[in-house]
Chains A and B, each alone.
Chain A
């Protein structure tokens, strides 16, 4: 049998069995579409989460905090109750700077810089005016080393005592929350970050709507010099020296000496796990974007695996369905197969003709399934984009359809069809043509 004759006969047989091919395809299409869609969704979610993590904490950095004991929503960092007392003061910061690790058989000091963060240990409220409307709110204030947020300063300087106003950075997330939820709900115009630069506001240090600090209240004026995702999440970030000074004046005892967290920058991202381990050995919590990304990836991979298992079950059921339909096809074609053999077909050619049908049906079903998944991903991303406009911090893209998934789906569907068709095709090839042709007298 020549290849062209084989292709022509396989095509004709496929056309003759078109309905059955459709029935075989349905399950495979659903299974592949589900599998490819779930894989694309898992990849997309993982990438969007990891992207945000790395944006907030670059790969070369380790975030260090004193150890906490969490009991449900309660966070305890009190000495001697649930955890040993761990403070981060200047002596500890020095220790962090001098961390030594083993690298390729030699001791090295990989820490380049340590940036400190100190939270205000007193109530704060701010007031001001925007769009002609007076506003006032309680807030958090955090002080950081200028180097930590150097890239985020867009207008003016982020330094201590350089001017009349306290330079302040506001959280990027706050703008997202404002634009996507608050502004919409209150029919206010959205905020362009550049619009905020240079805007002034009043800071009432030691006074909020619910409490007043023990010392006197300090009134200062702040000016917005940029937006950052590396300071306090829901408040104002200022140079650390201001907070140290204010804590000394109106904060609780010792609050001017203790840092709430520090960020270590190491010389190479490959040292991050070892530095994080060294920090943990010192009794502190260490977080890195790599570690977080690994945890997120692990969770997403588990969820994707679960959904993938569901798709695999659908494919397995489709395979069983295909197995039954190919058996039926072989039974219906046994007299045709007998005739083909009488006319000169080998058993292998008879088998290959049914297998060709399986490969074509499987590949086409896989292709259609991949197209459906691609459409599903596009619709999902469209919905995500719309949701991102109204839900703060919601990623605008959560499905990442890739050609490799489409090829995997097609290959898998073809494989399922081949496995399903093989027993029937082999049985058909082993048909005794004489017996079949005689039986149909």
Chain B
């Protein structure tokens, strides 16, 4: 379960930018939550705070009971490696490496030795229907295929939570739907908790719950 208590994030600038203000929310295990809102409303900041990439200025964040704000750098890094899978709008895969190499990358940052990462990577590529392109360099793949490589990488360490920031933002509508379909399947079959930041109505519609942010504040939560 993800639990945020009165989380505030202010970016140092002149004048200071309040990205999030007093956010309190809970996301139950295996939920599919969409976070919507206008640009600059604080959606990505919220996602990054949940994922342990950004520290809030105040408030507390618990994931499966662990306080990730109080954790040190090493604990937060381990948390990101083991508990969180990230999917980004611009994919962030290494173009000159193969799909397989990109998927295996999280194993490099594992605190213990990872038994047979190639087998696990092939398993993940199979789940995103890309096992036949395992040895292709990513710069030879289409946008949709690259995003599927990124999703395979996100689920490689078997994290309980998948955080996606505009995962269909750089894809055409048809490919975006394929990715959305893939997310839904992973959510259903793997029991993943899915938090997706999106502008797109179709994505939001697929979620169990939609949270709307406005000027850093949670203004609406719709349970479906």
Tell me the A residues contacting B by CB distance below 8 Å.
1-2, 4-5, 8-9, 16, 335-336, 338-349, 432-434, 437-438, 440-441
B105: nearest residue on chain A (CB-CB)?
A: A343
Specify the main secondary structure of chain A where it touches its partner: helix
Inter-chain contact A437/B82, CB cutoff 8 Å: no
Inter-chain contact B78/A339, CB cutoff 8 Å: no
Inter-chain contact B86/A343, CB cutoff 8 Å: yes
Contact of A341 among B80, B96, B112, B153 (CB under 8 A): B80
List B contacts of A335 (CB < 8 A).
Answer: 92
Inter-chain contact A440/B105, CB cutoff 8 Å: no
Contact of B44 among A4, A344, A349, A438 (CB under 8 A): A438
Cβ < 8 Å to A, chain B residues 123-172: 153, 157, 165-166, 169-170
A33–B106 alpha-carbon span in the complex (Å): 41
Given A2-B112, A336-B94, A437-B92 in contact, is the A344-B54 Cβ separation under 8 Å? Answer: no
Inter-chain contact B105/A441, CB cutoff 8 Å: no
A224–B86 alpha-carbon span in the complex (Å): 96
Chain B residue total in the interface (Cβ 8 A): 35
**How many whole Å from A6's CB to the nearest CB in chain B?**
8
A440: nearest residue on chain B (CB-CB)?
A: B90
List B contacts of A344 (CB < 8 A).
Answer: 77-78, 80-82, 106, 109-110, 157
Inter-chain contact A343/B90, CB cutoff 8 Å: no
CB-defined interface of B93-117 with A at 8 Å, one 1/0 digit per residue?
0101000000001111111110000
CB-defined interface of B178-194 with A at 8 Å, one 1/0 digit per residue?
00000000000000000
Inter-chain contact B111/A1, CB cutoff 8 Å: yes
Given A441-B89, A441-B169 in contact, is the A342-B108 Cβ separation under 8 Å? Answer: no
List A contacts of B106 (CB < 8 A).
Answer: 343-344
Any chain A CB within 8 A of the CB of B215? no
A433–B45 alpha-carbon span in the complex (Å): 11
8 closest A-B pairs by CB: A344-B81, A344-B109, A434-B48, A434-B53, A346-B77, A434-B54, A5-B108, A343-B106
A5–B114 alpha-carbon span in the complex (Å): 10
Inter-chain contact B45/A434, CB cutoff 8 Å: yes
A336–B92 alpha-carbon span in the complex (Å): 8
B106: nearest residue on chain A (CB-CB)?
A: A343
Any chain A CB within 8 A of the CB of B73? yes
List B contacts of A434 (CB < 8 A).
Answer: 44-45, 48, 53-54
Contact of A2 among B48, B110, B157 (CB under 8 A): B110
Inter-chain contact A348/B92, CB cutoff 8 Å: no
A9–B44 alpha-carbon span in the complex (Å): 29
Given A342-B53, A342-B80 in contact, is the A5-B92 Cβ separation under 8 Å? Answer: no
Inter-chain contact A5/B44, CB cutoff 8 Å: no
Contact of A5 among B73, B110, B165, B169 (CB under 8 A): B110
Inter-chain contact A343/B81, CB cutoff 8 Å: yes
Contact of B110 among A1, A341, A432 (CB under 8 A): A1
**How many whole Å from B115's CB to the nearest CB in chain A?**
12
CB-defined interface of B72-90 with A at 8 Å, one 1/0 digit per residue?
0110011011100010111
B48: nearest residue on chain A (CB-CB)?
A: A434
Contact of B86 among A342, A432, A441 (CB under 8 A): A342
Contact of B108 among A9, A348, A433 (CB under 8 A): A9
Any chain A CB within 8 A of the CB of B216? no
List B contacts of A16 (CB < 8 A).
Answer: 96
Any chain A CB within 8 A of the CB of B176? no
CB-defined A-B contacts under 8 Å, sample of 12: A1-B111, A340-B109, A341-B80, A342-B51, A342-B86, A343-B106, A344-B157, A347-B73, A438-B48, A441-B88, A441-B90, A441-B165
Contact of B92 among A1, A2, A347, A440 (CB under 8 A): A440
**Which among A345, A434, A440 has the highest number of chain B CB atoms within 10 Å?**
A434
A340: nearest residue on chain B (CB-CB)?
A: B109
